[in-house]
A and B are shown apart, each in its own frame.
Chain A
């Protein structure tokens, strides 16, 4: 989730799944064909005009896709009803806050014991500036935003196999990698090794650019200097007064940088999805879902578990159970239906659609992902290590440590994202109890922040395959499955259309939910117009 928190999540596995860099070109191709790195097609608010009098739409799911549709269709004059399994709006757009409780599949309940105003986003946690659809709803719904820090030069890159397991600052690895590469390239240029590729007049420009890019000295070499320290940091930082003189730091050697593998973490903020500026809603990602929920009010029926979806020539009827009154069966009907139920759930619900849509629904495996929030007695990452927001990356199973991008210098407790994991290790974390997950995350995180054991207060762990409302994190289309089934999944079958991140080329991102929803309701609206009102 773009998130899930999601997004071009493969990039986030840099350390865990090193192949991304090893096979960069192949990987880029694969990611492009999967739809990652694709730009949002959002072109501004949708205009639905001429809604037939009395036309109605039943929307299944009050996540971002469902509520985007409900908001627009209601404004266009449709009668709208939304059925939602959870007792809250948002779906994967969700923040766990102190006092919340969460029961995962299998029945284990966690009570979140964070202090007031502290939270984690189990799902999406960042919004790229170009996710214009989602951002426009934040604006229209009055959800205030603040900066999400993707790259923090003072956060860590960590390999348990390099530098004796000591975490390195991002700025040091980036400066040293860049400096050494610039030096090598300058050397090759000056030895005329690049003459076939670089014209004589470009040669001097290239050299000058390498000096600037790599912080090289007058001899085009990279070493301890004011220039390099101005990138990687100082042995003793400049100050004021008699003790002011800075002492340059000593770069790490090229071989050590390369052997460490930490260079894999350098481009973490360079991909389209991760480029500055990124945003987060003030108070947690869940603020968007909550704002939508307030806006839609009584249009949403909560605690409604859909158990059957049936269409005929007159309309669509969903049968659902009221989860608060087990055993009760209720029905909701409308002319049209927009179904945003995640595919692993939808695949199990009887629904009379054609074989093509049916096959598509069953063809998308959902990713395994885990997030763990840890509350500590103080913000030691700021107080001791001067890390204000951003993310540290590690080759340990926890993969990420995310620092809060808000509330800097607050006294009192603080909450870290202690782990954000995909793939095999996420499956292994899922197989544990929440308490075991938190324990393991503490053990691993202590290798990066030794303050963990002393400062730990409490934690919560969300494993997306144990999520009762999604049964997985997000739809993982293979290129093969997309070629075979994607269009069928998005095509309206009779009176039923699907939407959600799974019906987008922005898999796992909320923007995929928004844009798929707008695309689907635009097509539903055309059908409704063609029918001229109630069938």
Chain B
């Protein structure tokens, strides 16, 4: 069983680890990641695969290009992809205490909304409708609720 006290300890120590390299903006931590917005989420995380201009890439498989992808017309499609992952893409909607298991990263609903809006408004995309944190919250999320 998960102990809430252990979880608390994790967060505290995580915060200390963040301070360790707070002077270098190149890297953040599980504590620091919570404070960044859509553009920075894209440049720190998404662009590793989807590339700096959202152009995607092709190898044995491919990373979809986000520039001009018609599927982005559906903000729900994109938000669910960010929350759940897809075809090996890591999920970013797991609860913060469940990301260790799959070595991924937790983004808040507000951050998911922010990065969805960022991508849908850049790389040649110009969708006018903006998604809100509450709309993301209403979507199904991966993982199970953390123990009380």
Contact = CB atoms under 8 A, between A and B. Distances in A.
A binds B: yes
Interface of A: 9-10, 15-20, 22-23, 26-27, 30, 34, 85, 105-107, 159-161, 261, 305-306, 341-349, 362, 364-368, 395-397, 422-425, 427-428, 430-432, 440, 443, 463, 465-472, 476-480
B51 to A, nearest CB: 5
Contacts of A364: 88
Contacts of A34: 101
Given A26-B2, A428-B44, A367 B49 contact: no
Nearest to A366: B88
B74 interface: no
Nearest to A22: B9
Interface string B100-130: 1111110000000000000000000000000
A476 B20 contact: no
Contact of B21 (A9, A160, A305): A160
A365 B30 contact: no
Contacts of B85: 365
A395 B20 contact: yes
Interface size class of B (residues with CB under 8 A): 35 or more
23 contacts: A10-B103, A18-B16, A19-B14, A22-B9, A22-B10, A23-B3, A26-B6, A34-B101, A85-B59, A105-B49, A261-B13, A261-B16, A344-B61, A345-B59, A365-B104, A367-B90, A397-B24, A428-B44, A469-B60, A471-B63, A472-B88, A478-B143, A480-B144
A341 B60 contact: yes
Contact of B20 (A19, A107, A161): A161
B134 interface: no
B87 A347 contact: yes
A367 B99 CA distance: 11
B17 A365 contact: no
Closest 4 CB pairs of A and B: A344-B88, A468-B59, A430-B48, A19-B10
Contacts of B77: none
Contacts of A22: 6, 9-10, 13
B13 A18 contact: yes
Contacts of A476: 90, 101-104
Contacts of A469: 59-60
B136 to A, nearest CB: 19
Contact of A431 (B47, B87, B144): B47
Nearest to B64: A348
A440 B61 CA distance: 29
A364 B86 CA distance: 9
A424 B90 contact: no
Nearest to B89: A365
B103 A159 contact: no
A15 B90 CA distance: 22
Contacts of A342: 60, 88
Contacts of B48: 368, 427-428, 430-431, 463, 465-466
Contacts of A430: 48-49
A261 B14 CA distance: 12
Contact of A18 (B17, B90, B103, B104): B17
Nearest to A17: B100
Give the most central of A26, A346, A427: most B CB within 10 Å.
A427
Contacts of A466: 48-49, 57
B139 interface: no
Nearest to B101: A478
B17 to A, nearest CB: 6
Contacts of A348: 61-62, 87
Contact of B100 (A19, A107, A345, A396): A19
